[in-house]
């Protein structure tokens, strides 16, 4: 009797192991989105971001990250930003405009712009305005006008001035507005740092995507993703995607059902067992 019981339990164990292995083979999307984005000093970044080793379904379309020469980048509107830091807990990106990172002489004069439905500026920022091609030194009502070294742009030598603040009108041929931290603006006004230093410090962007769904998915053992056909969040589980979170049906549930089936002398297919254990 003991031998038969041992053989019966051993058989259940083998069958259970086989079924769980077939059911729990990782969905390729689960495996891919379980990887983190890593580039340079930016490590362990997941949803809503995607890019490089993370496929498009691992994040929302507007959050593609790139890695150029070991420097993480993100494009937003007409600007490309160098990522200096990411705080997933606070949902804040610290970025610097790539076209102004090494020089204040860009090829094109684009203002800093954002999609307000996706990002908003972090607090405690002040705009700095860079003026190009002025016929003369800008006068009042502009305070704190700083002359910068000339730029050679598109074959032309042009003068450059900077103003920390918004201007009521543009007195020069071209201008570019870039936000900088208030502390940097004050240091710039007092000539404690250069405009290049201020622009390299970057500024904060807060993303507007709620993490509640993703947190529930991760807590259930899933990987967060996004369905671009339906424009909805998706939770990739080891066996299949779901709308919110993963179930924990294998293991004890399978053993219990197979034990009851053996006593009742009934049988179910593996797919029926999976359905019952959800």
pLDDT at 268 over 80: no
Q: Is 70 exposed, middle or buried (0-12, 13-18, 19+ CB in 10 A)?
A: exposed
Of the candidates 112, 99, 192, 200, the one whose C-alpha atom is nearest the C-alpha of residue 146 is 192
Tokens of 47: 């949803």
pLDDT of residue 198: 96
**Residue predicted with more confidence, 154 or 74:** 74
Tokens of 162: 């900077």
pLDDT of residue 141: 60
Q: Which tens digit of pLDDT belongs to each residue from 186-209?
A: 999 888 999 999 999 999 999 998
Tokens of 196: 């290049």
pTM for this one? 0.77
pLDDT at 254 over 70: no
Note the Cα 21 to chain centre separation in Å: 33
Q: Which tens digit of pLDDT belongs to each residue from 169-185?
A: 778 899 999 999 999 99
253 band by pLDDT with thresholds 50, 70 and 90: very low
What does the DSSP assignment read for 41-93? TEEEE-TT-BBTTB-GGGS-GGGBEEEETTEEEEEETTEEEEEEEEETTTTEE
39 band by pLDDT with thresholds 50, 70 and 90: very high
- Please state, rounded to an integer, the average pLDDT across all residues of the chain: 83
pLDDT at 113 over 60: yes
Note the Cα 7 to chain centre separation in Å: 52
The residues, any chain, with a CB within 8 Å of residue 184's CB and separated by 6 or more, are 193, 197, 198, 201
Residue with tokens 């740092």: 193
Compute the average pLDDT of residues 67-84: 95
Q: What letter would DSSP give residue 36?
A: P
Tokens of 11: 């058989």
Q: Distance between CA atoms of 47 and 34, rounded to whole angstroms? A: 10
pLDDT at 252 over 90: no
Cβ contact 217:245 at 8 Å: yes
Q: Distance between CA atoms of 225 and 49, rounded to whole angstroms? A: 9
155 band by pLDDT with thresholds 50, 70 and 90: confident
13 band by pLDDT with thresholds 50, 70 and 90: very low
């Amino acid at each position: 009797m003991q031998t038969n019981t041992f053989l019966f339990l051993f058989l259940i164990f083998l069958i259970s192991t086989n079924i769980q292995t077939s059911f729990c083979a990782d969905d390729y999307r689960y495996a891919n989105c379980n990887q983190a984005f890593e580039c340079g000093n930016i490590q362990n970044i997941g949803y809503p971001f995607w890019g490089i080793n993370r496929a498009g379904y691992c994040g929302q379309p507007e959050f593609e990250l790139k890695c150029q020469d070991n420097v993480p980048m993100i494009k937003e509107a007409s600007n490309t930003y160098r990522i200096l830091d990411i705080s997933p807990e606070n949902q804040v990106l610290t970025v610097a405009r790539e076209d102004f990172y090494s020089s204040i002489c860009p090829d094109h004069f684009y203002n800093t712009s954002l999609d307000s439905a996706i990002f908003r500026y972090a607090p405690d920022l002040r705009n700095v305005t860079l003026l190009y091609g002025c016929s003369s030194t800008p006068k009042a009502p502009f305070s704190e006008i700083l002359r910068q070294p000339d730029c050679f742009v598109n074959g032309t030598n042009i003068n450059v001035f900077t103003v920390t603040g918004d201007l009521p009108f543009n007195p020069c041929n071209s201008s570019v507005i870039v936000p900088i931290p208030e502390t940097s603006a004050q240091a710039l006004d007092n000539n404690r740092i250069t405009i290049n230093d201020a622009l390299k410090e970057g500024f904060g962007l807060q993303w507007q995507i709620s993490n509640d769904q993703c947190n529930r998915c991760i807590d259930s053992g899933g990987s967060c993703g996004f369905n671009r056909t339906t424009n909805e969040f998706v939770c990739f589980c080891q066996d299949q995607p779901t709308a919110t979170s993963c179930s924990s049906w294998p293991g004890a549930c399978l053993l219990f059902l197979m034990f009851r089936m053996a006593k009742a002398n009934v049988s179910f297919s593996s797919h029926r067992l999976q359905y019952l254990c959800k």
